[in-house]
Amino acid sequence: LTLPAGEAYKTLDIVNQLWHGFLEAGLDRKGTVIALGGGVIGDVTGFAASTFMRGVSWVAVPTTLLAMVDASLGGKTGFDLPDGKNLIGSFHPPKLVLADPQVLKTLPEAEFISGLAEVVKHGIISDPDLFNLCSRGLDWVQEHPEEIVRRTLAVKIKIIEEDPYEKGSRAALNLGHTVGHAVELVSGFRLRHGEAVAIGMVAEAKLAERLTVAGKGLSEAVAETLRALKLPTQIPEDLPREEIIRAMSVDKKKSSGVVRFALPAEIGKVELVDVKDLEMVFEE
Ligand SMILES: NC(=O)c1ccc[n+]([C@@H]2O[C@H](COP(=O)([O-])OP(=O)(O)OC[C@H]3O[C@@H](n4cnc5c(N)ncnc54)[C@H](O)[C@@H]3O)[C@@H](O)[C@H]2O)c1
Ligand SMILES: [Zn+2]
């Protein structure tokens, strides 16, 4: 089955096409579905597999950097509604993830760079060596994709094994995403997900410094590495601050009037911190 490309096709209609395709192909309960493609393909295929005949196995063969280091691991599958992204889904981990960095050679550079934001994120969460490798810059990383994919996978696997259903520590993976999702949304998705997460990681590192969760200089270290990878580090001037704050406060991690941030304490360590006053994100 061949599907059209892009987030616009992460829909129930596409899932429906998959279900019918599975039936026509004679897939039964013992069958296995293989998802070959980026994160969109993985999410819809994994979801279709999780619901077809109450669940058949699937294998992820991610072909984008983002899908290799992030989307294919952790068992989250699903699709978008017109009201918002990832509103419907299930936990259904693939039986196998086969990531071959060779396929990244054809990936547009902007997509590769966007995926690198998630690599840096995993380094900040718990692998300072990975973070340092990223600091070597885009050229080095492009020549050593195996190294960074392998290390990033190792970090994510450890976290999801500890907390598969996001009851606690897995929230560390939200680093950069509280501000990042808000900036992505307010930009009208003009910013790629990874670009928004890069901006979010710097803003959240600054917040960590202000709250003395992190020592001075951490945000600059994060920004320097992101710049070496040609990722943006500042919230675009034309995005209204009030809208970003509003978007953050409806963030689904919100509970009882506070927003839970995964803030970097140092490179290799993240702390979950409840923040009441979201204006603090923009203080100097
Ligand atoms: N399930 C999860 O835990 C999880 C985590 C992070 C992101 N996601 C989801 O992943 C999606 C984003 O994934 P993505 O960034 O891979 O985007 P994508 O799947 O839309 O792929 C980006 C583009 O690259 C093309 N492409 C894919 N592989 C290629 C290759 N090797 N060479 C050339 N072109 C190629 C695709 O056709 C597409 O046009 C989002 O929907 C997001 O919600 C899921
Ligand atoms: Zn992300």
pLDDT at 180: 97
* Amino acid (1-letter code) at residue 75: G
Cα-based torsion angle of the residue sequence 112, 114, 118, 121 in order, rounded to the nearest 10 degrees: 120
Residue 256 pLDDT exceeds 80:
no
Give the model confidence (pLDDT) of 264-282 as tens digits.
999 999 999 999 999 999 8
Q: Using 50, 70 and 90 to split pLDDT, how confident is the model at 216?
A: very high
User: Considering only CA atoms, which of 113, 268, 251 is closest in space to residue 192?
Assistant: 113
Residue nearest to atom 19 of ligand 1 (CA): 38
Give the model confidence (pLDDT) of 95-113 as tens digits.
999 999 999 999 999 999 9
Say if ligand 1 is within 6 A of residue 180 CB. Answer: no
pLDDT at 254: 58
How far separated are the first and last CA of the chain, in Å rounded? Answer: 52
Residue 252 pLDDT exceeds 90:
no
**6 DSSP 8-state letter:** S
Measured over the CA atoms of residue 265, residue 218, residue 153 and residue 189, the dihedral's sign is: positive
In angstroms, what is the span from residue 174 Cα to ligand 2's centroid? 8
**Crossing angle for the helix pair 241-249 and 177-186, to the nearest 10 degrees:** 120
Ligand nearest to the CA of 262: 2
Contact call for residues 121 and 151 (beta carbons, < 8 A): no
pLDDT at 168: 83
Q: What is the CA radius of gyration of the chain?
A: 19
Residue nearest to atom 39 of ligand 1 (CA): 5
User: Considering only CA atoms, which of 96, 102, 88 is closest in space to residue 43?
Assistant: 88
pLDDT at 87: 92
pLDDT at 35: 98
Give the model confidence (pLDDT) of 120-163 as tens digits.
999 999 999 999 999 999 999 999 999 999 999 999 999 999 98
User: Considering only CA atoms, which of 172, 175, 131 is closest in space to residue 151?
Assistant: 131
